[in-house]
């Protein structure tokens, strides 16, 4: 279980996502209970995505937290065909309205989520595997001036870009790549 995938926090919204893999879909129930408690403390709103049909029906709407990065009022959503789909991105745009700008970021098909190829450390630095992007040169303008620590594709596959920023001095990530 990866708690980043079934729930996304954007502003005061706790979004309970629709996971692509059927064996993971029941995870959201537990996170919904947690979100409801958090919403009480933070004047939040728990938002459920529309119900999906069983299996991999073409009308299903998928959005997974590993594909979503919040960068102020800009939201980056990765899409590779393995998790989040176009319908999920459109749903998110409609849910957030004009307050946020949602950017679709195409990924190579072997990349599960955006967080497997990119990590934002702060407003100007990040970790990236450029080869994981279908069109790296067309990343959103807001990411073009970042200073990137670049990792190789084989390192990204082993989660070199996947960590958790705790504060301005602390990042939790694997110790398998000390050079990163």
What pLDDT is stored for residue 34 in this prediction?
87
Percent with pLDDT over 90 in the chain = 77
pLDDT band with cut points at 50, 70 and 90 for residue 38 = confident
Distance CA 66, CA 86 (A): 15
Mean pLDDT of 146-158: 96
What pLDDT is stored for residue 2 in this prediction?
63
Pairing relationship of beta strands 125-128 and 147-150 according to DSSP bridges: parallel
List CB contacts of 94: < 8 A, sequence separation 6 or more: none
Over the stretch 102-124, which tens digit does the pLDDT of each residue have?
Answer: 999 999 999 999 999 999 999 99
Over the stretch 43-69, which tens digit does the pLDDT of each residue have?
Answer: 889 999 999 998 889 999 999 999 999
């Amino acid at each position: 279980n990866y708690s980043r995938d079934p729930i996304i926090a954007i502003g005061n919204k706790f979004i309970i996502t629709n996971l692509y893999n059927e064996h993971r879909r029941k995870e959201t129930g537990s996170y919904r209970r947690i979100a409801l408690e958090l919403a009480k403390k933070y004047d939040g709103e728990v938002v459920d995505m529309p119900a999906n049909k069983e299996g991999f029906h073409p009308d299903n709407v998928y959005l997974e937290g590993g594909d979503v990065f919040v960068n102020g009022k800009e939201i980056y959503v990765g899409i590779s065909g393995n998790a989040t789909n176009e319908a999920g991105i459109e749903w998110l745009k409609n849910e957030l309205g004009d307050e946020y700008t949602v950017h679709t970021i195409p990924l190579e098909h072997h990349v599960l989520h955006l967080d497997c190829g990119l990590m934002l450390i702060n407003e100007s630095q990040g970790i990236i595997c450029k080869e994981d992007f279908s069109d790296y040169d067309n990343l959103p303008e807001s990411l073009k001036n970042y200073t990137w620590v670049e990792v190789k594709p084989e390192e990204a596959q082993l989660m070199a870009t996947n960590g958790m920023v705790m504060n301005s001095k602390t990042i939790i990530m694997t110790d398998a790549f000390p050079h990163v």
